[in-house]
Structure formats: C-alpha cells, structure tokens
Structure 1
Amino acid sequence: MHITLGNTPDDTLAAFTARAAEDPGVVGLVLSGSQVHEGMPTVHSDYDLHVILRDRQASELAELDWFRSAHLDLVVIALAEFRTRGMPGRPDHFARYSYVHAQVLLDRLDGTIAQILDEKRRLGADEARAAVDGWLDAYVNQTYRSLKSYRDGHPAMGHLDAAESVPYALEVLFALHRRVRPYNKYLRWELERSPLGDRRWEADRLLPVVRRLLADGDPDTQRALFTDIEEAARKAGHGEVLDSWGTDLELLRHS
C-alpha cells in the first residue's frame, strides 16, 4: 500500500489520519514519540503513530506495519496485541515508555483505547513492588561485581560493570515511584518536569553521577549512589532484597 507524503510532516500526518479514520477496521489512533514531549521535537522529528485495528484482517492498513519515512513512522497493531504490548513479561516490554505520554487521536471504542493507555502509563502497586525487588537485586549484583574488580586490580572490567549498573539504578529509582523508566533521550525531560520527590534525584544532581559512572566507573561515586539508593529502598520496604546479600554489602558501602 502506498502512502503519499505531504510537503511537511504535519501535512502527511493529517492526510494519513483522515484516511485511517475512514477505515471501519481502524478502532484507534495513538500518537507517541518526541511530538508528545513538549519542547523535544526538532526540525528532524517525524510523527510516531500507532494504528489499532479490530484484528489484522480487518484492514488493508495492516500492510503498513513498521512503515518508516522522514514524516511518519507507523506501528499497525491489532487491538488484542495493543492491550499487552510493552507490559511485563513481554518480549516488547521495552516499548512501555512510548505510551506514558501518548495521545489518543481516535477512539472508536467508547474510551477503551484511552483506558488501555492509562494502564500502561504507570506501574500498578504490585507490579512496582516486584519491579523494584528485581531491579534492585540486579543493581546490587552489578555494583558488587564492579567493586570486586576494582578491589582485585581489574579497573577496566570494573568500569564496564559500573556502566552496566546504571540502567538498573534508574529502573529502581523510577519504579520506587511507580513510574516507567524513560528512554535515555527523555531522562532529563522527565526529571525536570516530573521530579522524583527527592533532591538527590534532581536532574542536575543525578545526571552528573550517571555521567561519572559511564565515564570511568569511579568507585567512590558508585558507593555514594548505592548509599542513597539503599536508603530509599529500605524506606520503601525493600530491605529483604538488600539483606539477602549479607556481608557482601560492606563492599558497596563507604568505609
């Protein structure tokens, strides 16, 4: 199926959404990406659009799944798949953040599309607790491996493990607030517009820590971050995960 590009991304989006809205097999249109993050679009930004079908046989638009152009990127997905996309345990769980600020452009199901989106925007209470426990254990493990390597005279390997600990640390911090960890592109945007409620996690304090760990894995910086995360995790009731590490935690603490 052919898509005619307009003179601008706005023209292309308008023409395609009008066409999709005339298709009875289309039950929803959802906009995501930089266009739904105020202040983030640039002259290079396109529109990321999800086209939601009753089922994949309901529309010829199904052929356009993963269509890419300078103006428009499409995900064409059946309603049943849309319900679960990005959710825990799914191979596409990485897609969860794309829905956090997504906007509904069309909902033919009396609010069902919006309701599904709302379930993706924040972690449920049980989901958040399980997420913190899992990511916290992974973070401690990676930091412990890093600091052991530094202790044993292998700084290059310690640096690599420190860099790999960063995503786990960010997952913990956001899950503690029932938030979906943003894509790195939007990390500062999220921290500045929706703070995590603790000065230690403000953008101008947390991001230099992240950069230092990525730059050289500095052990003192690792221990300082661990101390702050341990305090926050214990306060939120996740001490059991930490205590399971026993005396190994001493390596992660300031002497």
Structure 2
Amino acid sequence: MHITSGDTPDDTLAAFTARAAADPGVAGLVLSGSRVHDGMPTVHSDYDLHVILRDQHASPIAELDWFRSAHLDLVVIPLAEFRTRGMPGRPDSFARYSYVHAEVLLDRLDGTIARILDEKRTLGETEARAAVDGWLDAYVNQTYRSLKSYRDGRPAMGHLDAAESVPYALEVLFALHRRVRPYNKYLQWELERQPLGEPRWEAGRLLPVLRRILADGDPPTQRALFTGIEEGARRAGHDRVLDSWGEDLMLLRQS
C-alpha cells in the first residue's frame, strides 16, 4: 500500500488521517512522539502515529506497520494487542512511555481507545510498588558492585557498573511517583514540567549528578544519589528490599 507524501509533515499527516478515518476497519488513531511534547519538535520532527485496527485483518492499512518516512512513522496494531502493548512483562514494555502524553485523534469505540490509553499513562498502585521493589534491588546491586570495584582498586570496572546503575535509579525515582520513566530525550522535559516533588530531583540538580556518574563513576556522587533514593524508598515503605542487603549497605553510605 502506498502513502502519498505531502509538501510538509502536516500535509502528509492530514492526508493519511483522512484516509484512515474513511476506513471502517480503523478503530482509532493515536499521536505520540515529540509532537505531543510542547517545545520539543524541531524542523526534523516527523509524526509518530499509532493506527489501531479492529482486528489484524480489518484493513489493508495493516501492510503499513512500521512504515517510516521523513514525515510519518506508523505503528499499525490490532485492538487486542494495543490493550497490552507497553505493559509490564511484555517484550514491548519499552514502548510504555510513548503513550504517556499521547493524544487521541480518532476513537470509533465510544471512548475505549482513550480509556486504554489512560491505563498506560501512569503506574497502578500495585504495579508501582512491584516496580519500585524490583528496580530498587537492581539499583542497589549495581551501585554496590561499582563501589566494591572502586574499593578494590578497579576503577575502570567500577565506572562501567556506575553507568549501568543510572537507568535503574531513574526507574526507581519515577516509579516512586507512579510515573513511567521517560525516554532520555524527554527526561529534562519531564523534570521541568512535572517535578518529582523534592528539590534534589529538579532538573538543575539531578541531571549534573547523573552526568557526573556517567562521566567517571565518582563514588561520592554515587553515594549522594543513593542517600536520596534510600530516603524516598523508605518513606514509601520499601524497607524490606533495602534491609535485605544488610551490612553491605554500609559501602553505599560511607562518606
């Protein structure tokens, strides 16, 4: 199936959405990507569009799954798969953040598309607690490995482990607020527009900490980050995970 490209991304999107809206097999259209993040689009930005079909064989548009051009990127997905895409335990769980600020352009199912989307935007209470427990344990493990290597005279290996701890730290910080960790591209955007509630997690303070850890794994910076995360996790009732590390936590707390 062919897509006609207009003179601009706006023209291409308008032409395609009109075509999709005329197709009874299309149940909904959802816009995501930089275009739904105020201030993020550039002259190079295309439109990321999810086309939700009533079922896999409902429309010839199914052939356009993963179509990409300078103007338009498509994900064409059956309704049943859209319900679970990006959710925990799925191989496509990485896609969750793409729905956090997504906009519904078409919903032929009396609000069903919007309701499914809303379930993806934030972490449920039970989901968030499980996520914090899992990511917190991974973060402590990675930080402990890093600091142990620094202690034992292996700074290069400690640096590698420190760098790997950063994604886990971010997962914990956002899950503590029942939020989906953003893609790195949108991290500063999220921290500035929807702060995590404490001055230490503001963009101007947290981002330099993360950059320092990524740059050289600086142990005092790692320990300062751990102190803040431990305080937040204990306030939220995640003592069991932290206490399971016993005396090993002393390495993360040393001044």
Q: Give TM class, smaller chain.
A: over 0.9
Q: Which residue in the other structure is 1:214 paired with?
A: 214
Q: CA deviation at 1:19?
A: 0.1
Instruction: Give the structure 2 partner of residue 180 of structure 1.
Output: 180
Once the two structures are TM-superposed, the CA of residue 56 in structure 1 deviates from its matched residue by 1.0
Aligned letter for 1:232? G
Map of 1:73-222 to 2, 5 A cutoff? 73-222=73-222
In structure 1, what is the Cα distance between the partners aligned to 2:245 and 2:254?
A: 16
1-structure distance, mates of 2:189, 2:131: 23
Cα separation, 2, equivalents of 1:120 and 1:107: 16
Once the two structures are TM-superposed, the CA of residue 148 in structure 1 deviates from its matched residue by 0.5
- Paired residues, what number? 255
One-letter code of the match for 2:91? Answer: P
Q: Which amino acid in 2 is paired with 1:171? A: E
What are the superposed Cα offsets for residues 53-79 of structure 1, whole Å, 9 maximum, x if unpaired? 011100000000000000000000000
Q: What's the secondary structure of 2:68's corresponding residue?
A: coil
In 2, Cα distance between equivalents of 1:55 and 1:66: 17
User: Residue 34 of structure 1 aligns to a residue in which SS?
Assistant: helix
- The alignment status of 1:242 with 2:242, answered yes or no, reads yes
Structure 2 Cα separation of the partners of residues 13 and 53 of structure 1: 18
**Structure 1 residue 127: Cα displacement:** 0.2
- What is the distance in 2 between the residues matched to 1:35 and 1:228? 33
Taking structure 1 as the reference length, what is the TM-score of the superposition? Answer: 1.00
Q: How does 1:32-111 map to 2 (within 5 A)?
A: 32-111=32-111
The CA RMSD over aligned residues, in Å, is: 0.4
SS at match of 1:166: helix
| Aligned-partner Cα distance in 1 for 2:187–2:3 | 33
Secondary structure at the counterpart of residue 29 of structure 1: strand
SS in 2 for 1:214: helix
TM-score normalised by length of structure 2: 1.00
Name the CA distance, whole Å, in 2 between partners of 1:231 and 1:51: 43
- Supply the distance in 2 between the matched residues of 1:254 and 1:97 (Cα, whole angstroms): 35
Q: Deviating runs (4+, > 2 A) in structure 1?
A: none
Distance 1:34 1:74 in 2: 14
| In 1: Cα distance, 2:239 partner to 2:7 partner | 57
Q: CA deviation at 1:197?
A: 0.5
Partner secondary structure for residue 73 of structure 1: strand
Contact kept, 8 Å, 1:65 with 1:77, in 2: the verdict is: yes
The sequence identity of aligned pairs, in percent, is 87
Residue segments in structure 2 that go unaligned for 5+ positions in a row:
none
What's the CA shift for 1:108? 0.2
The question of 1:12 aligning with 2:9 is answered: no
Tell me, which stretches of 5 or more residues in structure 1 are unaligned?
none
CA contact (8 A) 1:224 1:254 kept: no
Give the CA deviation at 1:254.
Answer: 2.5
Partner SS, residue 205 of structure 1? helix
Mapped partners of 2:21, 2:226: distance in 1: 50
